[in-house]
Structure 1
Amino acid sequence: MNTKKRLSVVMITKNEAPLLIDCLLSVAWADEIVVLDSGSQDNTLLLAQHHGAKVYTNTDWQGFGKQRQLAQQYATSDYIFMIDADERMTPELKIAIETVLTTANNNAVYSCSRRNLFLGRFMRHGGWYPDQVTRLYPRQHYQYNDHAVHESLNCDPAEVTPLNGNLLHLTCRDFCTFQRKQLSYAEAWAVQRYQQGKSCHYLTIFAHAIGAFCRTWLLQAGFLDGKQGLLLAFVNAQYTFNKYTTLWSLHDQQKRKQQ
C-alpha cells in the first residue's frame, strides 16, 4: 500500500497583496506553503505569514528561473507544486493532485491546463487554452531551468502526465499593468538572447510579428473568442515585435560603439 506523499506549494512574489489571499486559500490544504519574496513594498509578507506560509526573502534578483530554484530549496515535502500569486487552484485540480500524492511513484511529473483571463474573458482559443504547464513534480529529482523569463521545469526524460482540472490564471486584469509586464518580459527575453550571441535581421522583426498575429488569430482559432480574440492577436504581435526589435537594437547599439 502506497504512503501518501507530502506536498509543498511554492511561489515567488513581489508586491502581490491584492492577489495573494485568494491564491493562498485555494492551496491552504497543502502540507506546506513556501513563499520567496523579492522585496515587496506592500503587505505581501504579512498576508503570507497570516495564512500560514513559510516566508523567505531574496532581493538579489537574477531572473524567474533562478528565483524558483532558490524557492524550491526551502521546501521540505516529497512533491512540489509551483504556483503564482495570480493563479487559483480549482477544486477539480485539488482532487487530481491528492490522487497523485496517494498513488504516484517518486519520478512522476504532472502538468495541468491553465484558463487565462484576458480583458474580462477566460480565453478558450488563441493559444491561451489549454495552455498546459508542468507544475507538479518530486522535489528531489527536478527543478526549474535558470532562464530569466519563460522559465520551465527541467524534467527530461520523464514522461509528463496531464491532470484533470484547471488553474485559473488572472493574466490580464488591468490592460496597462499587463502591457508593462509584457514589455519587461520582452526586454528580459532580448537581453538573454543577446548575451547568448543570438541576433535577428531587421526585416525578420516584421515577419515574426505578422506570424504571431496570424498564428493567434487564424491557426489557433482566436477569432472564436470574439473581440478579445482579435485584441489578443494584436497584443501577441506587439509583444513579438517588442522582443525582436529590442534584440535588434542591442546589436545595433553595439555596432555603433565599435565604429
Structure 2
Amino acid sequence: MILPEKQLLSALIITFNEEKNIETVLADLAFADEIIVVDSFSSDRTFEIASQFKNVTIKQRIFDNFAFQRNYALSLASHPWILFIDADERLTPELKKEIEIVINQKNNISAFFMKRNFMFKNKSLRFSGWQTDKIIRLFKKNEAVYNEEKIVHEKLIIKGDTGILKNKLIHYSYSNFEDYKQKMIFYGELKAQEELSKNTKPNFFHFYIRPAYQFLNQYVFRLGFLDGRKGIIICYLNALSVAVRFQKLKKIRTEN
C-alpha cells in the first residue's frame, strides 16, 4: 500500500516592532515544517529575538505596503501550503490539529478561512462588528497571491475553491488604547494611498458622514453597545481610522 505524501507547511509572518509578540508566536508555529519572518527593519528587539530560533529563517525588507511585503514573504516559501498569520494572532492546539488534517485531505479546496476571536486586552470582544470576522490564513502557495492594489487590509486572489475551518484563531489586536490608536491611524494613512489611486476627491461626505456611519454601524447595528466600554473604544478608533484616511488624502492632494 502506497501512503499519500505528507503535505508540508510554510508558516509566514511579517513584522515591525513586535518584540512583545514574536517569541510567543514563533513558539506557537513550531509545528510547521518551515517558518519565515520578514521584518521591516524593526527598531526594537524583534529581529534579535527571531534570530535566536534555529528553525526560523528571517529576512529584512524595507516596508512599502502590506500587499508587497506579504507577496515577498510568499516568494520565499518552499512548501505547497502556506499559513500566513500576524504576530498578534495565536493558534489553539485544536486549530493546529485541524490545519494538519485539512492540508492532507484530498479535495479541490485551495484556501481556508479562519474565524477570529478578537481579544480586548485579555478578554474576548463579543460584538462591535467582530462577531463575524473571518480571514484567509491557510492556502496553497501556487493558487493564491495578494492583490497589490489593496495595500492595507490586503486581500488574497484565490484560483480555486475556499473552505472554512471550525476552530478559531485568537487575535490579540488590542493591548492598550494608544497602541491601537496608532495602528488605526497608520491603516488610515495607507488607505489614503488607495483612495488617491482611485482619484477620490474628499468632501463633506468623506470627512463627516463616512466616519459617523462607521461608528454607528459597528456600535448600533453590529451591537457594539453590548460590549460596554470596550465597544465604545473599538468603534471610536475604527471610525477614527476612516476620518484619518480622508484627512490624509486631502493633504496629499493639496501637496500635489
Question: Normalised by the size of structure 1, how large is the TM-score?
Answer: 0.90
Q: Does 1:26 align with 2:28?
A: yes
- What is the distance in 2 between the residues matched to 1:199 and 1:3? 54
Tell me how far 1:154 sits from its aligned partner: 1.1
For 1:1-259, list aligned pairs within 5 A.
Answer: 2-51=4-53, 52-59=55-62, 61-105=63-107, 107-146=109-148, 147-156=150-159, 158-254=160-256
Taking a change above 3 Å as real, the CA distance of residues 39 and 104 of structure 1, as seen in their structure-2 partners, is farther
Corresponding residue SS for 1:102: coil
Tell me how far 1:236 sits from its aligned partner: 2.0
Q: Deviations over 1:18-71 (max 9, x none)?
A: 111111111111111011111123332232232221111112x22010011001
- What is the distance in 2 between the residues matched to 1:229 and 1:151? 25
Q: Which runs of 5+ in 1 are unaligned?
A: 255-259
Tell me how far 1:132 sits from its aligned partner: 0.3
- What is the distance in 2 between the residues matched to 1:2 and 1:223? 51
Tell me how far 1:116 sits from its aligned partner: 1.5
Provide the aligned length of Structure 1 versus Structure 2: 252
Letter in structure 2 aligned against 1:121: K
- What is the distance in 2 between the residues matched to 1:98 and 1:91? 11
Which residue is equivalent to 1:257? none
Tell me how far 1:169 sits from its aligned partner: 1.3
Corresponding residue SS for 1:110: strand
Tell me how far 1:162 sits from its aligned partner: 0.9
Q: Which runs of 5+ in 2 are unaligned?
A: none
Taking a change above 3 Å as real, the CA distance of residues 144 and 46 of structure 1, as seen in their structure-2 partners, is same
Corresponding residue SS for 2:168: strand
Tell me how far 1:100 sits from its aligned partner: 0.8
- What is the distance in 1 between the residues matched to 2:178 and 2:85? 23
Q: Deviations over 1:213-258 (max 9, x none)?
A: 111011111122121112222222222222223223433454xxxx
Q: Deviations over 1:173-193 (max 9, x none)?
A: 021121112111111111231
Tell me how far 1:166 sits from its aligned partner: 1.5
Whether contact under 8 Å (1:37, 1:45) holds in the other structure is yes
Whether contact under 8 Å (1:69, 1:144) holds in the other structure is yes
Whether contact under 8 Å (2:147, 2:155) holds in the other structure is yes
Letter in structure 2 aligned against 1:89: L
Question: Normalised by the size of structure 2, how large is the TM-score?
Answer: 0.91
Corresponding residue SS for 1:103: coil
- What is the distance in 2 between the residues matched to 1:97 and 1:154? 20
Larger CA deviation: 197-206 vs 183-192:
197-206
Letter in structure 2 aligned against 1:151: E
Corresponding residue SS for 1:134: strand
Letter in structure 2 aligned against 1:19: N
- What is the distance in 2 between the residues matched to 1:53 and 1:213? 40
Task: Give the ranges of 4+ consecutive aligned residues of structure 1 lying more than 4 Å apart after TM superposition.
Answer: none
Tell me how far 1:152 sits from its aligned partner: 1.5
RMSD across aligned positions (CA): 1.8
Whether contact under 8 Å (1:107, 1:141) holds in the other structure is no
Corresponding residue SS for 1:148: coil
